[in-house]
């Protein structure tokens, strides 16, 4: 910042020269008419709105007061990037700083949250944090942060631009949340009533369309755990890439970090993966699943994962993949594993679990309906990312960079 030339009319200033740390306190919030409190858990990264809070009457020891228009900044674990603008009065955690501008004629109050959201400010907050488990920054360090302050007429130009892109970003966030709620509601419809409006009948796993079959997973899919990790496998020559529990996310694979170990020719044949196999977590987040689509030819998998391979072409693995997520949402796996710190689902118990199986045609219809929803959500997420990038470029202007 110090070596970068300033735009005409801009000036350098310390954060503490233009921003004040509020020290307002209320030992008795209820008596002062303050009914709500905000903790770090109520602030969402990248969201300037406070969408949740607690009630002081339920018991809280917070005394830091905030008022509408002030900026709340999470000083603990600043890398979480928690900033919000208050639109009501309340008290907040001691791990939250309350900022306000010193002089609205020098720095518009509405511009302050965008300054606090810049990469430069967060980088400074993180670099000045101390502590290993819960690093915290401090006011004296933040006050020393140097920023470029535009003239007031430039601030008035920047503000509508920032607010417009912030609104686009927030609208995208809300649309994505609505789409996920719609997806979840669709799952309840698809896996309980189907898509053909059939009469339902009672089954061992609840009411289902009359034409549907109920069968144990082992009757329709081969269920097999992968190879056990060992020191010999780590050190032996001839390493093969293999998929771990950590690589499996819901309906997708994270292949940024794929491990290797030795597999004998016989093991490669036994633990190889084919297009359409489902990989389901055996422990921790039991049942979390993704489909293998030959992303890494010749890859195998480890014992922390079940490989589900259909026994006939009368089943569509895409349908089962989504049904597994429905089972997770509705507590079916917890009913089998119980409430434990690290649950496990052995292969024999997984094979014995009952699942609903429509005809192949209806399985395909359900899978394609869900894929259509997922495609729409992906489009919304792309648009939100574009809005986020544009907003970030616009916020860089708060540091005197002419990027937009």
Lowest pLDDT segment from 105-119, 180-194, 339-353, 361-375? 339-353
Lowest pLDDT segment from 93-102, 211-220, 327-336? 327-336
CA distance 208 to 150: 64
pLDDT band for position 257 (cuts 50, 70, 90): very high
Model pLDDT, residue 230: 78
**Residues written for the chain:** 404
Those residues whose C-beta lies under 8 Å from the C-beta of residue 48, and which sit 6 or more positions away, are 83, 84, 85, 113, 117, 166, 170
Question: What are the tens digits of pLDDT across the range 208-249?
Answer: 999 999 999 999 999 999 999 877 777 676 689 999 999 999
Contact 75, 98 (CB under 8 A): no
Question: What are the tens digits of pLDDT across the range 36-70?
Answer: 999 999 999 988 999 999 999 999 999 999 999 99
User: Quick check: 154 pLDDT over 70?
Assistant: yes
Q: How confident is the prediction for the chain on average, in pLDDT?
A: 93
User: Is this structure's pTM higher than 0.85?
Assistant: no
- Mean pLDDT along residues 21-27: 97
CA distance 62 to 203: 53
- Mean pLDDT along residues 150-162: 92
Model pLDDT, residue 400: 54
Model pLDDT, residue 398: 62
Strands 278-281 and 289-291: antiparallel
Model pLDDT, residue 2: 57
User: Quick check: 76 pLDDT over 60?
Assistant: yes
User: Quick check: 286 pLDDT over 90?
Assistant: yes
Lowest pLDDT segment from 140-144, 198-202, 234-238, 345-349? 234-238
């Amino acid at each position: 910042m110090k070596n970068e030339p300033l735009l005409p009319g801009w000036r350098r200033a310390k954060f503490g020269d233009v921003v004040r740390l509020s020290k307002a306190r209320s030992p008795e919030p209820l008596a002062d008419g303050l009914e709500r409190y905000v903790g770090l858990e109520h602030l969402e990264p990248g969201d300037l709105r406070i969408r949740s809070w607690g009630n002081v009457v339920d018991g809280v020891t917070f005394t830091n007061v905030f008022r509408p228009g002030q900026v709340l900044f999470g000083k603990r674990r600043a890398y979480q990037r928690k900033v919000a603008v208050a639109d009501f009065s309340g008290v907040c955690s001691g791990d939250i700083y309350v900022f306000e501008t010193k002089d609205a004629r020098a720095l518009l109050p509405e511009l302050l949250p965008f300054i606090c959201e810049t990469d430069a400010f967060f980088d400074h907050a993180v670099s000045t944090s101390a502590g290993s488990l819960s690093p915290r920054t401090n006011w004296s360090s933040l006050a020393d942060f140097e920023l470029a302050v535009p003239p007031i007429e430039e601030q008035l130009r920047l503000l509508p631009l920032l607010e417009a892109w912030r609104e686009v970003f927030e609208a995208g966030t809300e649309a994505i949340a609505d789409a996920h709620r719609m997806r979840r509601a669709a799952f309840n419809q698809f896996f309980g009533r189907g898509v053909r409006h059939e009469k339902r009948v009672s089954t061992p796993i609840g009411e289902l369309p009359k034409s549907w079959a109920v069968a144990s997973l082992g009757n329709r899919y081969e269920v097999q755990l992968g190879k056990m990790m060992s020191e010999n496998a780590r050190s032996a020559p001839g390493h093969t890439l293999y998929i771990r529990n950590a690589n499996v996310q819901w309906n997708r694979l994270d292949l940024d970090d794929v491990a290797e170990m030795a597999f004998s020719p016989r093991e490669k044949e036994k633990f190889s993966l084919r297009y359409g196999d489902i990989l389901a977590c055996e422990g921790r987040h039991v049942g979390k699943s993704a489909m293998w689509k030959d992303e890494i030819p010749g890859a195998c998998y480890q014992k922390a994962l079940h490989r589900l391979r259909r026994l006939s072409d009368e089943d569509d693995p895409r349908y089962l993949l989504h049904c597994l997520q429905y089972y997770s949402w509705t507590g079916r796996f917890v009913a089998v594993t119980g409430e434990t710190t690290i649950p496990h689902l052995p292969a024999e118990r997984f094979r014995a679990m009952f699942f609903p199986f429509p005809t192949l045609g209806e399985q395909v219809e359900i899978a394609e309906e869900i894929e259509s929803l997922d495609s729409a959500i992906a489009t919304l997420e792309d648009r939100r990312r574009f809005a986020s990038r544009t907003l970030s470029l616009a916020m860089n202007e708060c540091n005197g960079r002419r990027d937009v």
